[in-house]
Structure 1
Amino acid sequence: MFVDKVKIYVKGGDGGNGMVAFRREPFVPDGGPAGGDGGKGGDLIFEVDEGLRTLVDFRYKKHFRAPKGENGRTKNQHGAKGDNLIVRVPPGTVVVNEATGAVIADLVSHGDQATIAKGGRGGRGNTRFANSRHKAPDIAEKGEPGEEFEIILELKLLADVGLVGFPSVGKSTMLSVVSAAKPKIAEYHFTTLQPNIGVVKVDEEDSFVMADLPGLIEGAHEGVGLGHQFLRHIERTRVIVHVIDMAAVDGRDPFKDFMQINAELELYNPKLMERPQLIVANKMDIPDAADNLQIFKEELEEQYKQEGKSLEDIKIYELSALTRKGLDPLLRDISTLLRELPNILLYEDIGEETEDYKIYRAEAEEKPFTIRKDNETFVVEGERLEKLVVMTDFSREDSVTRFARILKGIGVDAALREAGAKEGDTIRIVEMEFDFVD
């Protein structure tokens, strides 16, 4: 089963809780604090495995959680860090934050890694809060929660050559005779419902990867038909081979088909038109194909004149994929062209590229918190405050005192007064509610 798009849930490991403990030794009265820190939660990391070809495994397992860090222990012993969770993905996997649409990582080559969800830091034990004024603090932090969200995985096939064209023009037949791939071939449209790839061996030392991609129809750039399922894969190919049914078996117009396919490619991503494109006139063994080819050349020459181009710059390969006639010159020229092209892939205009992969993170919050009113309740929101609530142990008086001090220190108290909060009003941070004390 070929699967190229899935939605899954990921979560970094929670940090371990800090420990509240005190020294208990003979002949040592009033022992000091001895609670250790919790361990950091494990990171959830994606790693490219060139042995994988689809995202089918993610159809059956959709939740991935990295291990939690260990809790702190007595005698100032820190908890162990949670192990990282390595998740294998195929080359060409793009990771997108489902909520924001931001690209988290673009993983291309074997061994590439990207941290998708970071583990939370471990909570501090009470030893960390001791000072000259408070020598025996009864306070420790809970572990910070690991990052968690839903992501979309999109697979964009990594192939040197992509075969494009309307349904039933002979792309599958062509791939089947030049490689060991066995795509489904039949006498009806849309036989190919998923991409097929094969290795084309030109000679003993020269080969390249070719992808037979599902046929396009008008409106594909908007998702019509197989639409985006096809177009996302063509983005990764270095050379486009445009296959045309020159025999016009179904009464189609070869020139209109050629123009329509290119229009769909350009509407989807204009950069695709910058890719080298070879024109293949297929089914030349069928009567009327030669006459159709002559008409095609005349119409193409007229079109190119309007665009300021010359037909001499374009080579049209005449062949019959079924009989293999004319295939060898095409394969040799593709091989030569690939050697001359830089080994790069097309990335979307979403940020700076690095040689291996790209990672994008949302920018930090401009404000530490915001205040809004929900009926009679003042709701305080902010990433830092939400983490503070989760990591505070409200069962300990020292922890509650510290929590109130931090709120005052970052200006929450003053901001609530400005927002109209009065003595006794209800304040909510995350799921915790308390009365405002002016």
Structure 2
Amino acid sequence: MKQTGGHMVLGGLFEAYGYHSAAWLQETAQDNAATDVDYFRQIIQQAEAGRLDFFFLADTPAARTENLDFWSRSPLYMNMLEPVTLLSALAGSTRHIGLGATASTSFYEPYNIARLFGSLDHISHGRAAWNVVTTANDYAARNFGLDRLPPRDRRYEKAAECLEVVQALWDTWEDDAFIFDRAGARMFDPEKFHVLDHAGEFFRVHGGLNMCRSPQGQPVIFQAGASETGREFAARTAEVVFGTGATLAQAQAFYTDLKGRMTRYGRTADSLKVLSGVSIVMGESREDARRKWAKWQESVPIEIGLMYLKTDLETDLSDLPLDEPVPEHRIPERSNFHQVYFEEIVGLIREGLTLRQVCRTYNRSKVIFYGTAGEVADQMEEWVGSGGSDGFMMALPVLPDSLTDVTQGIVPELQRRGLFRTEYEGRTLRENLGLARPVNRHVRKR
């Protein structure tokens, strides 16, 4: 099942130094980048100059509180700005690129989410996107009075109710509710304001959003989730999904399965964009690009690789010999955090790789495209053309170098082939993604 029409979607997953564990060790890395809004302004303006669809910030509402010697050498999420605040600051420096961020349904109240992202949509003139997540680490749970996270299915049940409430709040006002009738001394039409009275298992909300309906009607809904529960949730609610699959065959299977679920919810395939996670490494040749990646990998202490395995496999393998295969009995029966990461590690172990090789190979379910601009574009074209994805969520390994490779190398090659835009199609993120603006639910009911 391949979606037709429109251009390839290209979004960027941005972290201050880049998503490779060695990014902050590069000579070009700026010490205070993570909290420097001027640095991020330069990055997002470069991304917009490359006509990328969106600039995305992942998040977790927690710092690691254990194994700090390890985390001090791989400090992901240990020093960062709150993402909606940062995107609001960047909105005025850009005009077209989408602004996406994570906010956890496990710990944010729906009213806060609705207000934050509704505000961002107004501030950016219609470019906001909310990544609906359930949070997958107990560090966050302990920040909010819990010892550990609830089971995955319960987290998704809460997420579904949270999203329902948020979207209802975004429809508090009809689009034409504010009439600004000065002669009649009436700012808005009371009949076009709709009070939400929600009493559910996880949330009770009686009220309305104190903000007129936003430019997109509702911000775009992003989601990632590879488990059965996650896929069903995405098929019902998501508009952009970060797809899984470290091979084309796996990506095709995910794409076909997810889009095939949509009809039961009365949705068409083109109302959802599936973006494959990919790391892009450019070089003068494919071999040169592989050497670049290998150099980055070798600069990461093996203890860091073991720590990531411990986090995502949810068990500690550091007592095992590095240069021997991992015994099958050391694999946990199930995952409670990131199902797709768990399954990737299990697959590598079952291939018979040594523990050291598993550490060096594991890439959080992102395929790596190596090569020249033309060779990377070939791989992108193949994935989209053969039903593996509608585009890519690019986890850029080292900033700003990896972004420069994309905007000055790969994007011009895709444009030459007619696969990517040369100018933005519209002003809002929905317009640029080819997604319909939602009709207010109260108008639709009438």
TM-score (norm 1): 0.25
Q: Which has the higher helix share?
A: 2
Q: Which has the higher strand share?
A: 1
TM-score (norm 2): 0.24
| Greater radius of gyration (CA) | 1
